[in-house]
């Protein structure tokens, strides 16, 4: 049963590895040996109580050393996990800082482009305003000329006067 979410302490989840499975098998074997030694005590008359107690003492010694070795390895692994976790957090924090700095630099470098786009927009707006004003004047002239000129066409002298006025 694996849990892929980090624990509440901010640590990555622990997963059962091949070494953990091997350790479990080793512990089962030790327990089996312990039960077998306990059964030997029943047969102490045949083997002698001294031999059985010596074997049992040695078994307890091996079992205690194996347990202390396992605890020491677990402690080392936990320290390595914590160190790795801190390094990963540090690298992530450093990447965030670099990313923010790169974004700030890109923003600063793009300032001339933004300013140029703003100037182009303002220029287009002025040009459009001037074009509308020119079209409005032209439309006004055409309207006034159409009202003042006779219905059968423009008078040539008026046309030349208009060219001189402009």
Q: What is the pLDDT of residue 21?
A: 84
Pull the structure tokens for residue 94.
Answer: 């450093």
Q: What is the pLDDT of residue 4?
A: 45
44 within 8 A of 54, measured Cβ to Cβ: no
Q: What is the pLDDT of residue 159?
A: 53
- Decide if 65 is inside a domain: yes
Say if residue 94 is in the same domain as residue 139: no
Of 109, 131, 160, the last residue of a domain is 109
Say if residue 143 is in the same domain as residue 93: no
Whole-angstrom CA distances from 116 to 105, 111, 120, 128 are: 18, 8, 6, 18
Sequence-distant (6+) residues with CB within 8 A of 63 are 30, 34
CA-to-CA distance for 96 and 29, rounded, in angstroms?
Answer: 50
Say if residue 55 is in the same domain as residue 98: yes
Instruction: Identify the CA nearest to 6 among candidates 81, 57, 63, 110.
Output: 81
Q: What is the pLDDT of residue 29?
A: 86
Q: What is the pLDDT of residue 1?
A: 42
Q: What is the pLDDT of residue 154?
A: 53
- Decide if 154 is inside a domain: no
Helices (H), the chain: 18-42, 44-47, 49-109, 111-148, 156-165
Q: What is the pLDDT of residue 157?
A: 52
**pLDDT tens over the chain, length 166 residues:** 444 444 455 555 556 788 788 888 888 888 888 888 877 777 766 667 777 788 888 989 988 999 999 999 999 999 999 999 999 999 999 999 999 999 999 999 999 999 999 999 999 999 999 999 999 888 888 888 887 765 555 555 555 555 555 5
Alpha-carbon Rg of the chain, whole angstroms? 47
Say if residue 30 is in the same domain as residue 44: yes
Q: What is the pLDDT of residue 45?
A: 62
CA-to-CA distance for 43 and 117, rounded, in angstroms?
Answer: 99
In degrees and rounded to multiples of 5, residue 13 shows phi and psi of -70, 150
Say if residue 73 is in the same domain as residue 23: yes
Pull the structure tokens for residue 85.
Answer: 């976790």
Against a cut of 0.85, is the pTM above it?
Answer: no
Say if residue 39 is in the same domain as residue 116: no
- Decide if 121 is inside a domain: yes
- Decide if 38 is inside a domain: yes
Range of the domain at 80: 18-109
Q: CA angle 69-72-77, nearest 5°?
A: 125
């Amino acid at each position: 049963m694996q849990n892929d979410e980090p624990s509440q302490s901010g640590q990555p989840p622990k997963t059962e590895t091949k070494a953990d499975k091997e350790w479990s098998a080793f512990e089962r074997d030790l327990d089996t040996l312990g039960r077998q030694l306990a059964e030997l005590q029943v047969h102490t008359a045949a083997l002698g109580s001294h031999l059985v107690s010596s074997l049992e003492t040695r078994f307890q010694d091996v079992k205690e050393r194996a347990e202390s070795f396992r605890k020491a390895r677990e402690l080392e692994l936990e320290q390595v996990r914590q160190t790795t976790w801190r390094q990963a957090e540090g690298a992530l924090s450093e990447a965030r800082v670099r990313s923010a700095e790169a974004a700030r630099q890109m923003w600063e470098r793009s300032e001339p482009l933004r300013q140029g786009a703003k100037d182009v927009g303002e220029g287009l707006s002025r040009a459009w305003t001037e074009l509308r004003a020119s079209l409005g004047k032209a439309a006004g002239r055409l309207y006034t000329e159409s009202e003042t000129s006779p219905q059968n066409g423009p008078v040539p002298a008026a046309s030349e006067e208009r060219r001189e006025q402009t």
